Amino acid sequence: MSIADIMRGFLPGSIEAGLNRAYGSSLRHHGASPQAVFGNSRKSQEARFAALLAMVNRDLAAAGRGRTAPAIADIGCGYGAMLDYMRARPGLSSWDYHGVDINAAMIRACRTRFAVEKGRFTLARTPATAVDYAVFSGTFNLCLIADADRWPDYIMDCLAGCWPQCRRGMALNLLCRKQTGVTNRIYYADHDAMLAAFGRFGRAGSMPTPGVKHDVTFLVTR
């Protein structure tokens, strides 16, 4: 199936269509950089990666699998920055990484940047194969819909689509504050409401993301 065939499955006017236009335009303007995925800096981007992957590592250790390299799906992988981060760190470089994104331009960028490993990247909403964890870093920050109250439903829909492919769990980060809603196209969630909602999948916990204001890292496990 070609990229064009897959993209025709996304309905015009859908949330994904708006996100596709925004991310495609941003990638053309900024190139493969944190700004292309609406990030502030590489420092905050890598702080989010560190918190997500550390949480996965702790869960592996708690499950007695601390010495086993997990398979992870990076949902909303963008231009592949998480794989760059993991490859540069011996403790993470052996993990079985799979990048997933709904934006064709981002996937093409990944396949160009990681030509030898281009098969690791898939144009889709969910992992193509079963993984131990799905991780979402900054995936839900950009909100382009007028009714921000619908955004948590979209988040839950995305998680529900990925959950059947996760053998162990999911880790994600969200910006959270008491005054929820959208500011400058960035969504701020209600921490307690999201934590309760994640409980429908399994055990849910959270911790502040070190070094990133308002950012919270969540883990949901079976």
3-state helix, strand, coil in the chain (%, to 5): 45, 25, 35
The CATH T-level fold of domain 3-221 is: Rossmann fold (3.40.50)
Q: What are 188's strand-pairing partners?
A: 181
Tell me: the pLDDT tens digits for 211-220? Answer: 999 999 999 9
pTM: 0.93
Burial class from Cβ neighbours inside 10 Å (0-12, 13-18, 19+) for residue 27 reads buried
H helices within the chain, ranges in order?
3-7, 15-30, 42-62, 81-87, 104-113, 151-162, 191-198
**16-35 pLDDT, tens per residue?**
999 999 999 999 999 999 99
Please name which of 5, 38, 222 lies closest in space to residue 142, comparing C-alpha atoms. Answer: 38
Confidence of residue 146 (pLDDT cuts 50, 70, 90): confident
- Span 63-80, pLDDT tens digits: 998 888 999 999 999 999
pLDDT score of 11:
38
Task: Delimit the domains of the chain by residue range.
Answer: 3-221
* C-alpha to C-alpha distance for 184 and 196, rounded to whole angstroms: 26
Contact of 135 with 56, CB cutoff 8 Å: yes
Instruction: Please determine, for residue 54, whether its predicted confidence score (pLDDT) is greater than 50.
Output: yes
User: Residue type at 172?
Assistant: L
8: confidence class by pLDDT, cuts 50, 70, 90: very low
Q: Say how far apart CA 210 and CA 162 lie, in whole Å.
A: 26
Cβ-proximal residues to 161 (8 Å cutoff; 6+ apart), any chain: 125, 126
Mean pLDDT, to the nearest integer, of 127-144? Answer: 97
Distance CA 69, CA 176 (A): 31
Distance of CA 2 to the CA centre of its chain: 23
pLDDT beyond 50 at 103: yes
CA atoms in the 13 A half-sphere facing the CB of 48: 26
What residues does 205 pair with on adjacent strands? Answer: 219
